[in-house]
Amino acid sequence: MSTSGATDAVMAPEPEPPGGGEERPLLDVRNLHVEFRTREGIAKAVNGVNYSVHAGETLAVLGESGSGKSVTAQAVMGILDSPPGFITQGEVVFQGRDLLRMGGEERRKIRGARMAMIFQDALSSLNPVLSVGEQLGEMFRVHQGLSRKEARAKAIELMERVRIPAARERVKQYPHQFSGGMRQRVMIAMAMALEPELIIADEPTTALDVTVQAQVMDLLAELQREYNMGLILITHDLGVVADVADKIAVMYAGRIVESSPVHDIYRAPAHPYTRGLLDSIPRVDLKGQELYAIKGLPPNLLHIPPGCAFNPRCPRAQEVCRTDVPPLYRVNQERASACHFWKETLDDDSAPSGDA
Amino acid sequence: MTTAPRPATPERPAGPDPDGREPILQVRNLVKHFPLTQGILFRKQVGAVQAVDGVSFDLYPGETLGIVGESGCGKSTVARLLMNLETPTSGEILYKGEDITRLSGRALKAVRRNIQMVFQDPYTSLNPRMTVGDIIGEPFEIHPEVAPKGDRRRRVQELLDVVGLNPEYINRYPHQFSGGQRQRIGIARGLALRPEVIVADEPVSALDVSVQAQVVNLMERLQDEFGLAYMFIAHDLSIVRHIADRVGVMYLGRIVELGADAAIYEHPTHPYTQALLSAVPVPNPEAREHRERIILAGDVPSPADPPSGCRFRTRCWKAQELCAEKDPPLTVPPVFRGTAGPTEHPSACHFAEEKQVVPPE
Ligand SMILES: Nc1ncnc2c1ncn2[C@@H]1O[C@H](COP(=O)(O)OP(=O)(O)OP(=O)(O)O)[C@@H](O)[C@H]1O
Ligand SMILES: Nc1ncnc2c1ncn2[C@@H]1O[C@H](COP(=O)(O)OP(=O)(O)O)[C@@H](O)[C@H]1O
Ligand code: SF4
Ligand code: SF4
Ligand SMILES: [Mg+2]
Ligand SMILES: [Mg+2]
């Protein structure tokens, strides 16, 4: 224990999420815990997530499938499937107020109007029996009390904003008549309709082809700049993160294991899992040698290993990792890492990371 | 040559093999159209989905040919044609010089032993009611000459070991394995008959990054060990860059550019390849500002009604009148002929020119 980086780190059992400076974040998720009570047992899907995003900022939440990215987002949006899902601890502070302590009616008003979500699978999130125009218009009719005609005009305007060609004609069409990329634009239009302060986009381009993905990401980034929105971009693609994010939160087994401004993390990760991810992706700009492969598999959430959840797969694991859960150590003003040996990891440039 | 109404089959579409080897597979002008019919009683054909429309390439022993392209461009159909799971509308697939589209019975069976497939989806491509031992050993039922009955269990265990799974898992069922492990089972099965060619259709696309690297490394190791030739299909250009020796880029049923890995990634001459490469997000935030992004307009047109002339012209920023009139053949463009540089590779564009889009590091 005395040789670990832990001893000289500033240890805070419940640290403020890093980043942001003085001003109040738009959204501040603190120590969020979510579990699913299923027949097989209790699946601990989210185990103390901390992240924050400011107006005009893009936070990327990165992690492999099952790491808890979507469940966290659902808890923030207030659309968690409950039961079986239960929020057991934590705060979701939006514009200074804890959403988890708000009444249902009040929350519903915030959802859609002040914060909106974009899903991966646009086809199943849109209503198949309503025309696109009706669905977009409904937002204005319900939230702003516009007439049918006014709402339709607004819908067309929105479709033009997200660059859907021939919006006037296509407003009458149904979701299945749109291509995947166009449907995702409709989803974006729907999320943008009431000009929310925060958008959570859950793998918005994962189902799309790479050229269409580029179109959609471009649009999203442009709209964000224009309206100075906070954007939480959930993804498993390190390339997308590097392209658009200001800061990044890496999730593993329901925890943020590292958070950092995007430039720093690619230069020098402070958590062995981040390090492993960066080394294991093939790159279009590098031919490279054998890929580094993280050994083993992500844990079963019914049986998360004691100590650090990553310890069975970690090349750096020591005895302490098998017994003590690493707190989120503050690496510097803007960075944090949940690793007993974050210092050693940060300083280590022996492995073939990036070759940059 | 300039009067060719359809992309002429280049004499050697793949370019000469540097080692002067004979190709193990030669695909010539392969076409697969799926008829679109109307009416229930009197089904009449009203058109056709031109899923694959004149594809030619060679595959050499021991090499990896990567095939990339967007969804629906015909990659899986090419794979299924190679595996004899579909009958081509026209064209030839020569295995060591013999056209396998015309073979049947015994002769076909003998060839099929040498060409095996690994599928994309490790969740649905394995029969849930069969044990791992039965799944991997199934090919021996069809080709008993490869492994006599008494020897099969040992052979299956050997195969499990080769792909990095515990040989004791032989009696388990697919649902007891993770995605990456199931993909290993699929690979073990593909290896059972000691094939020379493995057609892998998106073998790692369904896997998480950390597991994807394990499977890619395994495939590379097995290739060296057994001298396998891979046709590696993927929509992920980074994976193909990593694993392929040569790359073919497909668009709407055609190969539009074909060449060595460095030629395609560092010296692309076809506008579609350039757009595709420029759209790949690079995990390097420093490259953000310096990158030129080519954002294509619109979507891929329907393969039932492809544009006249060059099929890419509806999205191409360089398109001119000629592009609507004349179909550019997949050959080395005249400007690059005899240059002996990396741009001297087949590219189906009337106005091919080099453009570096992936920032060199
Ligand atoms: N049996 C079939 N009947 C009709 N059309 C078909 C059939 N099989 C494939 N197609 C069509 O042929 C085209 C090529 O399909 P294919 O599956 O080869 O694409 P792909 O490149 O593998 O795409 P993906 O990246 O999505 O796997 C598509 O338009 C597809 O809808
Ligand atoms: N409705 C549900 N019932 C039970 N378990 C769930 C439910 N939704 C999600 N989970 C579990 O929660 C974990 C995290 O899921 P998720 O947040 O969707 O992961 P991802 O990071 O891929 O978005 C997974 O193990 C998933 O199986
Ligand atoms: S705490 Fe230990 S096991 Fe966990 S990431 Fe750090 S070194 Fe590895
Ligand atoms: S032939 Fe014309 S339309 Fe086709 S890729 Fe070349 S320039 Fe573009
Ligand atoms: Mg998810
Ligand atoms: Mg396919």
Residues B235 and B68: their CA atoms lie apart, in Å, by: 5
Strands (E), chain B: 25-38, 44-59, 64-68, 90-95, 98-99, 115-118, 197-201, 229-234, 246-251, 254-260
Spatial neighbors of A38 by CB under 8 A, at least 6 apart, are A84
Task: Judge whether B7 lies within some domain.
Answer: no
Residue type, A4: S
Q: Do B281 and A237 touch (CB under 8 A)?
A: yes
CATH superfamily of A4-114+196-355: P-loop containing nucleotide triphosphate hydrolases (3.40.50.300)
Q: pLDDT, tens digit, for every residue of A19-29?
A: 444 578 999 99
Q: Do A285 and B358 touch (CB under 8 A)?
A: yes
- β partners of residue A322: none
- Whether A314 shows a pLDDT value over 60: the answer reads yes
A41: left (phi over 0), alpha (psi -120 to 50) or beta: left
Give A295: exposed, middle or buried? Use CB within 10 Å, 0-12, 13-18, 19+.
exposed
Residues B339 and B332: their CA atoms lie apart, in Å, by: 11
- β partners of residue B27: B57, B93
Q: What is the CATH number of the domain that holds B314?
A: 3.40.50.300
Q: pLDDT, tens digit, for every residue of A218-267?
A: 888 988 999 999 999 999 888 889 889 999 999 999 999 999 999 999 99
Q: Do A285 and B287 touch (CB under 8 A)?
A: yes
Mean predicted confidence (pLDDT) in A140-166: 90
Residues B267 and B354: their CA atoms lie apart, in Å, by: 6
What is the distance of C-alpha A45 from the center of its chain?
Answer: 15
Q: State how far residue B361 is from chain A, nearest Cα, in angstroms.
A: 7
Task: Judge whether B15 lies within some domain.
Answer: no
User: Does the C-beta of B254 come closer than 6 Å to ligand 4?
Assistant: no
- A215 contacts on B by Cβ (under 8 Å): 295-296
C-alpha dist (Å) from residue B221 to A203, A247, B180? 33, 37, 16
Query: Dmax over Cα atoms in chain B, in whole Å?
Result: 68
Q: What protein residues have CB closer than 5 angstroms to ion ligand 5?
A: A 70
Q: What protein residues have CB closer than 5 angstroms to ion ligand 6?
A: B 76
At residue B6 the predicted structure's pLDDT band, cuts being 50, 70 and 90, is: very low
Q: Decide which of A204 and B20 is more confident.
A: A204
C-alpha dist (Å) from residue A167 to A162, A211, B57, B295? 10, 22, 42, 20
Task: Answer whether A213 touches B (CB < 8 Å).
Answer: yes
Which range, of A128-142, B22-36, B163-177, averages the lowest pLDDT? Answer: B163-177
Tokens, residue A34: 């979510």
Residues A344 and A321: their CA atoms lie apart, in Å, by: 14
* Among B67, B79, B72, B185, CA closest to B126: B185
- Whether A18 shows a pLDDT value over 80: the answer reads no
Of all protein residues, the one whose alpha carbon is nearest to atom 25 of ligand 1 is B71
* Among B99, B136, B96, B97, CA closest to B114: B96
Q: What is the pLDDT of residue B5?
A: 42
In B, minimum Cα distance to A355 occurs at B361
Residues A247 and A14: their CA atoms lie apart, in Å, by: 20
Tokens, residue A76: 């923030």
User: Does the C-beta of B328 come closer than 6 Å to ligand 4?
Assistant: yes
- A298 contacts on B by Cβ (under 8 Å): 208, 210
Task: Judge whether B258 lies within some domain.
Answer: yes
* Among B68, B79, B119, B132, CA closest to B280: B68
Please give the full DSSP string across A89-139, using - where no structure is assigned. EEEEEETTEEGGGS-HHHHHHHHHHTEEEE-S-HHHHS-TTS-HHHHHHHH
Nearest to A243 among B208, B276, B281 (CB): B281
Domain residue extents for chain A: 4-114+196-355, 123-193
Residue B318 CA: nearest ligand 4 atom is 7
Task: Judge whether B198 lies within some domain.
Answer: yes
- Given a contact cutoff of 8 angstroms between Cβ atoms, the answer to whether A301 and A43 are in contact is yes
In A, minimum Cα distance to B177 occurs at A297
Tokens, residue A117: 């979500």
- B250 contacts on A by Cβ (under 8 Å): none
Q: What 3-state DSSP class applies to A23?
A: coil
Q: What is the pLDDT of residue A4?
A: 40
Ligand 3 probe mutation, A318, A322, A347, most atoms within 8 A of CB:
A318
Q: State how far residue A109 is from chain B, nearest Cα, in angstroms.
A: 36
Ligand 3 probe mutation, A250, A316, A331, A346, most atoms within 8 A of CB:
A316
Q: What is the pLDDT of residue A7?
A: 36
Q: Do B282 and A283 touch (CB under 8 A)?
A: yes
Q: Which residue has the tokens 């449907």?
A: A183
Residues B195 and B211: their CA atoms lie apart, in Å, by: 25
- Whether B227 shows a pLDDT value over 80: the answer reads yes
At residue A13 the predicted structure's pLDDT band, cuts being 50, 70 and 90, is: very low
What is the distance of C-alpha B294 from the center of its chain?
Answer: 25
Task: Answer whether A288 touches B (CB < 8 Å).
Answer: yes
Strands (E), chain A: 27-38, 41-53, 58-62, 85-94, 97-98, 115-118, 198-202, 230-235, 247-252, 255-261, 329-332, 335-337
In A, minimum Cα distance to B301 occurs at A179
Find the A68 Cα to ligand 2 centroid distance in Å.
6
Task: Answer whether A81 touches B (CB < 8 Å).
Answer: no
Q: Which residue has the tokens 């595996």?
A: B83
- Given a contact cutoff of 8 angstroms between Cβ atoms, the answer to whether A251 and A273 are in contact is no
Residue A203 CA: nearest ligand 2 atom is 23
Tokens, residue A288: 């490279």
A 10 A CB-CB count for B121 gives 16
Mean predicted confidence (pLDDT) in B267-294: 87
- Whether A315 shows a pLDDT value over 60: the answer reads yes
Portion of chain B with pLDDT greater than 70, in percent: 93
Task: Answer whether A149 touches B (CB < 8 Å).
Answer: no
- Whether B237 shows a pLDDT value over 50: the answer reads yes
Q: Report chain B's mean pLDDT, rounded to a whole number.
A: 88
A 10 A CB-CB count for B349 gives 22
Give, in degrees to the nearest 5, the angle at Cα B332 between B331 and B337. 145
Residues A22 and B356: their CA atoms lie apart, in Å, by: 43
Q: Do B360 and A285 touch (CB under 8 A)?
A: yes
- Given a contact cutoff of 8 angstroms between Cβ atoms, the answer to whether A32 and A355 are in contact is no
Task: Judge whether B301 lies within some domain.
Answer: yes
Cis peptide bond prior to A83, omega within 30° of 0: yes
- Whether A304 shows a pLDDT value over 60: the answer reads yes
ipTM over 0.90? The verdict is no
Task: Answer whether A146 touches B (CB < 8 Å).
Answer: no
Half-sphere exposure of B198 (CA within 13 A, CB side): 28
Q: Do B283 and A278 touch (CB under 8 A)?
A: yes
Q: Do B261 and A65 touch (CB under 8 A)?
A: no
Spatial neighbors of B64 by CB under 8 A, at least 6 apart, are B223, B229, B230, B231, B232, B243, B244, B245, B246
Q: Which ligand is closest in space to the CA of residue A49? A: 2
User: Does the C-beta of A253 come closer than 6 Å to ligand 3?
Assistant: no
Q: Do B286 and A263 touch (CB under 8 A)?
A: yes
- A287 contacts on B by Cβ (under 8 Å): 241-242, 261-262
Q: What is the pLDDT of residue B359?
A: 67
Beta-carbon contacts below 8 Å between A and B:
138
Task: Judge whether B344 lies within some domain.
Answer: no
Q: State how far residue B176 is from chain A, nearest Cα, in angstroms.
A: 13
In B, minimum Cα distance to A268 occurs at B284
Q: Report chain A's mean pLDDT, rounded to a whole number.
A: 87
Mean predicted confidence (pLDDT) in A179-186: 85
Q: What 3-state DSSP class applies to A35?
A: strand
Spatial neighbors of B154 by CB under 8 A, at least 6 apart, are none
Mean predicted confidence (pLDDT) in A319-333: 96
Please give the full DSSP string across B58-105, using - where no structure is assigned. EE-TT-EEEEE--TTSSHHHHHHHHTTSS--SEEEEEETTEEGGG--H
User: Does the C-beta of A313 come closer than 6 Å to ligand 3?
Assistant: no
Q: Strand order in B115-118's β-sheet?
A: B115-118, B197-201, B229-234, B64-68, B246-251, B254-260
Sign, CA dihedral A145-A220-B315-B81, equals negative
Ligand 1 probe mutation, B76, B89, B252, most atoms within 8 A of CB:
B76
Ligand 2 probe mutation, A42, A51, A71, A232, most atoms within 8 A of CB:
A71
